[in-house]
Amino acid sequence: MKVGLPKAMITYEYPVLYTRFFELLGIEVVFSEDTNTKILNDGIKYSASETCLANKIYLGHVANLVERKDKEKIDYIFIPRVAFFDKKETVCVKFYALYDICKNTFDAKFITLNVDYSCKETEFKAFVSLGIRLGFKFSKSVMAYVRAKKAQDEYNKKEYNTQVKKLLNNKNILVVAHPYIEHDKYIGYPVIKYLKDNKYNVIYSDVNKGILKSSDEYKKLSKMLYWKYNKNLLNGIMEYSDKVKGIIFISTFPCGPDAMVNDLVIRKIKNKPILNLVIDEQDASAGLYTRLESFVDILEQNNIVVGGNV
Amino acid sequence: MRKKYIVGFPVLGNYYIPIYNFLNNIVDKELVEVLMPNKITDETIVNGAKVSPDFVCVPFKYNMGNYIEAIEKGANVLIQAGGGCRYGYYFELQEQILKDMGNDFIFISFLEEEGLNIKKLYNKLKILNPNLRFSEFCYQGGLAVSTVKIMDDFETYMRNNYNLQINENEFDKIEEEMLNDILKINTLSKLVKFKNKYVKKLKQVNLRKINNDDIKIGIVGELFTSMEPFSSFFIEKELLNYKCIVKRYTTVTYLILQKGFAKKKVMKKASGYIDYHFGADGPETIAHTLELIDKNYDGIIHIKPFGCSPEINAMPILQKISREKNIPIMYLTFDEQTTSTGIKTRIEAFYDMLKMKKDQNYANIKEEKVYE
């Protein structure tokens, strides 16, 4: 059996969990290609015009898999539906609807798993029932989930440890963006590449999942916050911000949660230079580089007075 | 001399009247003055948009405009009652923005992080009246909810039958009078009297029957743009001018009293297209659209603020429904712009199209009959 995974949005949040789960069940996993112009254009074609760029790109990736499915014999395209987590944490409503939108837009076989703690659909239950639906035994599904989960945790820990080691450098710059934005070839990659080319050490604020001692640090920035992935980013800001020279926020146009949370956080952080980048589907990059260049110039002026304290 | 606390709150359609009445009934009048908010104008949204994040949804911007106007009139206690979707997060950001602008005020949110908590709300509102008893608070709260329910029933009735009136403008007069009367309600018996009075009045209005050639249009979509006429450029009034029959589902009553119970029904109705709930009123939009199609409505208008994710989620599915069931659906998005010409043109064109489609169908049916 072969399962296709779109390399966008939710897949980046759990880079190991899904693939590992399928592999342990003996299912081959095929990814969509890296984001390219065709994927972007397909995404724009298939989505409503006001959809956020990340979601458009997701549809582009699904279209890529749909195109390849006959030739490469992909049986299913896997689109998880993630809604509510423990303690009333939720995610952007875009994640709620990915499966239903794809089902109504494309003509292909989709499978899903439903994580929704408000309907008592725990992650464990979701994975096990997915395994059973794919024709595997209960015990095998449980084993696959447990081991995949462990692998994901280990991956997170490893990522975190390498990042902490990197912090010793004094040219750190913190990038605050969802993983599906900062690692995407079209959205985040040009920014990251520019920074790395300029000898900056890029620190990702999302690398801290389940590692930090206290996961309530975000409350110092935003008390009411209920979006799980944004909480994670804010935890990252609290963890890393005193060790970096500047902070870059990257979001897509028009990202719902980021529009509000980033605005609030930028209002609250007063002692660091901040650049807020909002990226849309126009593909001219001159504006982006001008802004990055001037931001880097600001960071280079060591004696600049930030926040008014001399 | 001005009172110690001056309370301001944002506007949503005509609901500001029952809210004003509720606050006025519970506060200590020696200590507190409740401001009657201004009706929304162009200036409200221009001022609100100036200080809001760029692509936050438009209700946020209207709220900000309302707060700024209230603060100009001297308000030092502001109230936010929104919850769910992104509304739940408005409170924190709005507080921060207004404080950054240099204002000093107390901000009361009706909702907690975990949702509505009556006891905590009571404690918060005690600041406006230290002698407020819990029983009194609950009584007035219940009264306010019942008032909203009755007001919604009347307004829905008037909206549905507006173009069936035989004498024009009768409903307008009744509505104006009704809204004034709401301000006098402070006990249950007065509410009952109020209800009886207007049931009688509404019954006296002569209505004609619905004809086959009446154009029927349903409005579905996001709650704020549905309920606050200014934010959708008075789209309902505009449609009513074309002598359409207009139906809309979203009311405050629906949101606070019925939505929770209707969830299963909604998902069942929409199950042909969607498997899961996708946030806020998205699935409702789909279920209501299907219901309107069953009721032989001629066209559907889907409205939302710019960037409203749940409604954008619903759009690809609505497009599919539109193709499969052959029903025209017009998608309108509202943001901070203040000219209505574009919307008016689109409504006119939509109406003309529906009319032509209907005439065509009518002609076809007649032709077939002749042919037989």
How much is the pTM?
0.89
B56, B89, B315: residue with CB nearest A224: B89
Predicted confidence band at A99 (pLDDT cuts at 50, 70, 90)?
very high
Shortest CA gap A180–chain B (Å): 18
- Is there a contact between B307 and A51 if contact means CB atoms under 8 Å apart? no
Q: Which two tokens stand for residue B292?
A: 């309107």
Region of residue B233 (left: phi > 0; alpha: psi -120 to 50; beta: else): left
Interchain pair B89, A225: CB under 8 A: yes
Q: Which residues of B touch A101 (CB under 8 A)?
A: 313, 316-317
Residue B368 binned pLDDT confidence (cut-offs 50, 70, 90): low
Burial of B135 per CB tally in 10 Å (0-12, 13-18, 19+): exposed
A282-295 pLDDT, tens digit per residue, is: 877 888 899 999 99
pLDDT digits (tens, 9 = 90+) for B141-174: 899 999 999 999 998 898 888 888 888 888 888 8
The residues, ordered by sequence, that sit 6+ positions from A62 with a Cβ below 8 Å of its Cβ are A6, A32, A77, A79, A102, A105, A106
Say whether residue B266 is in contact with chain A using an 8 A CB cutoff.
Answer: no
In the predicted structure, residue A215 carries a pLDDT above the cut 80: no
Say if residue B369's pLDDT is above 80. Answer: no
Predicted ipTM beyond 0.85: yes
In this predicted structure, the answer to whether residue A101 has a pLDDT above a threshold of 60 is yes
Q: Flag whether pLDDT at A301 surpasses 50.
A: yes
Angle at A301 between CA A298 and CA A302, to 5 degrees: 125
Q: With an 8 Å Cβ cutoff, are A260 and B100 in contact? A: no
Residue A142, exposed/middle/buried by CB under 10 A (0-12, 13-18, 19+)? middle
B55, A259: Cβ pair inside 8 Å? yes
Short-list A24, A16, A101, A27, CA closest to A61: A101
Q: Report the distance separating Cα A38 and Cα A18, nearest Å.
A: 26
DSSP calls for A63-109 = HHHHHHHHHHT--EEE--EEEE-GGG-B--HHHHHHHHHHHHH--S-
pLDDT over threshold 90, residue A61: yes
Distances (CA, A) of B326 to B299, B321, B350: 10, 8, 15
Question: Residue A81 is nearest to which of B93, B276, B306, comparing CB atoms?
Answer: B276
Q: Which residues pair with A279 in a beta bridge?
A: A252
- Average pLDDT of chain B, as a whole number: 87
Lookup: tokens for B144: 């306010």
User: Is B85 at the interface with chain A, CB within 8 A?
Assistant: yes
Q: What are phi and psi for residue A269, nearest 5 degrees?
A: -85, 115
Mutate to test the interface with A, among B222, B225, B281, B309 (most CBs of A within 10 A): B309
Q: Render pLDDT for B107-117 as a digit per residue (tens, 0 to 9).
A: 988 887 667 78
The one-letter amino acid at B359: D
Q: What is the mean pLDDT of residues B218-224?
A: 90
Residue B64 in contact with partner chain A when CB distance is under 8 A: no
Q: For A135, left (φ over 0), alpha (ψ -120 to 50), or beta?
A: left
The rounded distance, in Å, linking the Cα atoms of A17 and A15 is: 6
* C-alpha–C-alpha distance, residues A56 and A50, integer Å: 9
Q: How confident is the model at residue A306 (pLDDT cuts 50, 70, 90)?
A: low
Longest dimension (CA), chain B: 83
> Could you tell me the CA-to-CA distances from B184 to A12, A100, B6, B190, B253 in Å, in that order?
57, 48, 21, 8, 21
Q: Which helix (H) or strand (E) holds B175?
A: helix B170-182
**CB spacing of B113 vs A226 below 8 angstroms:** yes
Q: What is the pLDDT of residue A309?
A: 43
- In chain A, the domains with their CATH numbers are 2-151 (3.40.50), 167-300 (3.40.50.11900)
pLDDT at A167: 84
Closest by Cα among A61, A307, A26, A28 to A184? A61
| Least confident segment among A90-94, A190-194, A198-202, B336-340 | B336-340
* A256 chain-B contacts, CB cut-off 8 A: 57, 86, 307, 309
Q: Which residues contact B277 (CB under 8 A, 6 or more apart)?
A: A83, A96, B263, B267, B283
Instruction: Collect all residues of chain A within an 8 Å Cβ-Cβ radius of residue B275.
Output: 99-100, 103, 112
* Residue A28, Cβ density class (10 Å: 0-12 exposed, 13-18 middle, ≥19 buried): middle
User: At residue B245, what are phi and psi to the nearest 5 degrees?
Assistant: -95, 125
B114 shares contact with chain A (CB less than 8 Å): yes
Among chain A residues, CA nearest to B85: A93
At residue A62, the 3 state secondary structure works out as helix
Predicted local distance difference test score (pLDDT) of residue B366: 65
**What confidence score (pLDDT) does residue A77 get?**
93
H/E element, B252: helix B252-253
Cα B349 to the center of its chain, rounded Å: 25
Minimal CA separation from B101 to chain A, in Å? 11
Res. A181: pLDDT tops 50: yes
Question: A259 vs B275: CB contact, 8 Å cut-off?
Answer: no
Residue B59 at interface with chain A, using a CB cutoff of 8 Å = no
Q: What is the pLDDT of residue B118?
A: 85
| CA distance linking residue B166 with residue B173, whole number of Å | 14
Query: Sorting pLDDT into bands at 50, 70 and 90, what band is B286?
Result: very high
Q: Spell out which chain A residues touch chain B, with contact meaning CB-CB distance below 8 angstroms.
A: 47-48, 50-52, 81, 83, 88, 92-94, 96-97, 99-101, 103-105, 112, 114, 116, 222-226, 253-257, 259-261, 263-264, 267-268, 278
